[in-house]
Amino acid sequence: MTQESAITPEMKAAIGVESEAYTNEVEKGAIIKFARAIGDTNPIYNDEEAARKSRYGGLVAPPTFFRSMRSGPMKVDVQSPYSANLDGGSEWEYYEPVRPGDRITVTTKISNIFERAGRLGNMMFIQRETKYVNQFGSTAAIQRTTGISYQPPDES
């Protein structure tokens, strides 16, 4: 028996629609605080004098600093009809270091929506791509995430 697709025409139309842009101002104190919060003692993230002697010539943000940046609001709202959600993982591409004083503009788009049959039934995969662009128009990083949702079996 073939299951009917839960992907609506509205969901399909949302693929590729980019969110509003949001610009994040990068502050030196935020970089240092973030590095300390994640327990990263690398001096290029929290010791300005030592960082000046590095190949970067000054403080840079840890790669995971991008997680602290917001994206603009989505122009289209896509919600899975299923109530259970899982994090299907993230992959990152890094291109440019982020420095104090940078202005990073963040946008997100849905890059793909598809379904697969799983052991608990139909699963929906929603893939998003978030782009981080600096004030010079250079892409600093791209993040790709996958959200997985499914309808859990009734617990009656």
Cβ pair 68, 34 in contact under 8 A? yes
Q: What is the mean pLDDT of residues 119-143?
A: 95
Q: Which CATH class is domain 9-26+70-150?
A: alpha beta
Residue 155's pLDDT band, with cuts at 50, 70 and 90, is very low
CA distances from 84 to 66, 74, 78, 80 (A): 27, 22, 15, 9
* pLDDT, tens digit (0-9, with 9 covering 90-100), for 52-99: 999 999 999 999 999 999 999 999 989 899 999 999 999 999 999 999
Strand partners, 128: 110, 145
Q: What is the mean pLDDT of the chain?
A: 93
Q: What is the mean pLDDT of residues 119-145?
A: 95
Q: What is the mean pLDDT of residues 126-139?
A: 98
The pLDDT score that the predictor gives to residue 2 is 55
Residue 152's pLDDT band, with cuts at 50, 70 and 90, is confident
Question: So where are the chain's domains?
Answer: 9-26+70-150
The pLDDT score that the predictor gives to residue 119 is 82
Residue 4's pLDDT band, with cuts at 50, 70 and 90, is confident
CA dist., res. 42 & res. 133, Å (int): 24
